[in-house]
Structure 1
């Protein structure tokens, strides 16, 4: 059997010792790791729920809340734009994804459309063929003094997708502020997040933590059904 040179022997032992140094934190408790020398590795490999146990919930971004928020925001923006353009109107209101208002002077319709042109402009290019995505479009009206608009499904889908992306960081921050565990967060579909917190055997605590009021409307799905079934629902 060929003998290794002293240099190779030293190199092999250095690799072995480095591997042990990086693996050892996984055998220590958090209290023991806190007293671990700062110059040694502290990172632990996050174990899944199947190996460590913990809590798993599926969150859903509330499309209804986003529609309601966008509708009210659009109404406020329209009111401000018409006021700045000195265009008098009445009956500005909305329901579902639609809204309407009546001009006191029908001759002001072109000016009103010009004042609102930024609202109906494309907000993003999407799709394979570069189709424009509009959040707001005009609808036909029975009279010339009434303007009707509608929040598009594509625009709402875009807002929901953005909210899901934003909520990933929100969930990670909220869990990290209270629990010394790195959560496993996965995006499922267009409006859902799967959140796993290894080592936390209190699902209600996780629900209470993520149910705090915030900018993103998150709702957990029925925990009485299996997690995968909730994701697929």
Structure 2
């Protein structure tokens, strides 16, 4: 005689069936695979990329067990590691004809060997860590002293500009390590300089001492300001690592802070150690240049004429060519802060940039002379550049300005 209603037994049965069903992928293990992801921000992974991968494999006589496309990559699964290596070589030859300028990242990986019908109902295996699955472990150290020195260099230029605007005459401003030294001729000038520092530079603390017949004012970063700069440097590096690890397609990477200046990166299941090290360790530089808007440049963009003298051709997002002038206006060295966000009026993605005093003067002069013209922001990696965005200069710029428009959120 049943003690409970039939519907309760039915609920328990359904729960057991669903539980067993979604546990099944853990019993199939993993199979060798090749993953293709974008090597540049201007490259898009879509059905065309999948078709090129399929064509490359077919030309090499290789039939994958599974070929799938997701938001950031194309993945092909194979029955053995030998086939995996042959497939990687075939895809590499097709998608990356120039190894010095790779548009795609072709990396070895492991994928679940679950049947297609289990994948169709989104039944995935439990992701295991390095201890059970193997993979790659990196320990990276952030150069905190370089971050503090760069901030001190930027403050030196800003302080020089503020003293000039306040009419405070000095005998010279120099950076000595992470401190700023100002030579002043008398006590009145010393007091005026201290007031400027206290009013305009809350991150600095000052000490003064006689220096012969003059005075020497020394400004250093406050402890809390230095700690904030170090925290920001650490967070920026972790964000950069997250973006680069996305190229490897690791399902559940571990990126965490260890101590004050170290970052631990664990990539379970990654087979291509050399590729992982290359992606995580590469450096990039940022440059700002004016877009060449002459008729010759327009013809070069359309492919009906040569690139004008003093300009270069780069590719913008979407594959459209842009002709930019060779003269570099600013580099990433002048950049002191960058904060992403959304424009409250247009709801488009934006980036608020802050540059040092020297960069602010350059931006002010260049923007004043080039209103309603385009300025390109280029990213260089391994000597190869690409245009991230090329917005129109809408007004006179300074130390702080905003970039918005054709950007993606990632």
Question: Under a length normalisation based on structure 2, what TM-score does the superposition of the two structures give?
Answer: 0.43
**Contact 1:75–1:92 (CA under 8 A) maintained in structure 2:** yes
Q: Does 189-198 or 99-108 show the bigger shift?
A: 99-108
Corresponding residue to 2:140 among 25, 37, 59:
59
Change beyond 3 A, Cα 1:66–1:42: farther
Moved more, 36-45 or 191-200: 36-45
Mapped contact 1:176–1:182 kept (Cα < 8 A)? no
Given the alignment of the two structures, is residue 79 of structure 1 paired with residue 160 of structure 2, yes or no? Answer: yes
Q: Which has the higher helix share?
A: 1
Q: Structure 1: where are the runs of 5+ without partners?
A: 122-134, 216-233
Match of 2:252 in 1: 182
Structure 1, 1-10 or 182-191: larger mean CA deviation: 1-10
Once the two structures are superposed, residues 96-127 of structure 1 have per-residue CA deviations (whole angstroms, 9 ceiling, x without a partner) of 22221223665333332222224552xxxxxx
Aligned counterparts of 1:80 and 1:36: Cα–Cα separation in 2 = 67
User: 1:164 maps to what in 2?
Assistant: 234
Whether 1:140 aligns to 2:208 is yes
State the distance in 1 between where 2:199 and 2:120 align. Answer: 56
Q: 1:199 offset after TM fit, Å?
A: 0.8
- For residue 145 of structure 1, report the CA deviation from its aligned partner: 4.0
**Deviation beyond 4 Å, 4+ runs, structure 1:** 1-4, 31-39
Q: Aligned residue pairs: how many?
A: 202
Other structure's SS at 2:198 match: coil
Q: Are the aligned partners of 2:25 and 2:112 in contact in 1 as well (CA < 8 Å)?
A: no
Distance 1:149 1:16, change over 3 A: same
Deviation at residue 136 of structure 1 after TM alignment: 2.2
Q: Tell me, what secondary structure is at the counterpart of 1:190?
A: coil
2:264 to 190, 194, 205: 194
Contact 1:25 1:43 in 2 (8 A): yes
1-structure distance, mates of 2:155, 2:117 = 55
Partner Cα distance (2:115, 2:238) in 1: 28
Q: 1:168 to 1:106 in 2, by over 3 A?
A: same
Q: Whole-Å Cα distance in 2 between the matches of residues 57 and 189 of structure 1?
A: 15
In 1: Cα distance, 2:231 partner to 2:115 partner: 39
Aligned 8 A contact 1:56 1:195 in 2: yes
Q: Give 2:221's match in structure 1, choosing from 151, 156, 160.
A: 151
1:43 deviates by 4.9
CA RMSD of aligned residues (A): 3.1
Instruction: Write the mapping of 1:34-49 to structure 2, written as runs, cut at 5 A.
Output: 35=116, 40-49=121-130
Contact in 2 for aligned 1:99/1:149 (Cα 8 Å): yes
Structure number having the greater strand percentage: 2
TM-score by length of 1: 0.71
- Structure 2 unaligned spans of 5+: 31-110, 285-331, 333-410
CA distance in 1, matches of 2:210, 2:15: 79
Return closer, same or farther for 1:43/1:66 CA change in 2, 3 Å cut-off: farther
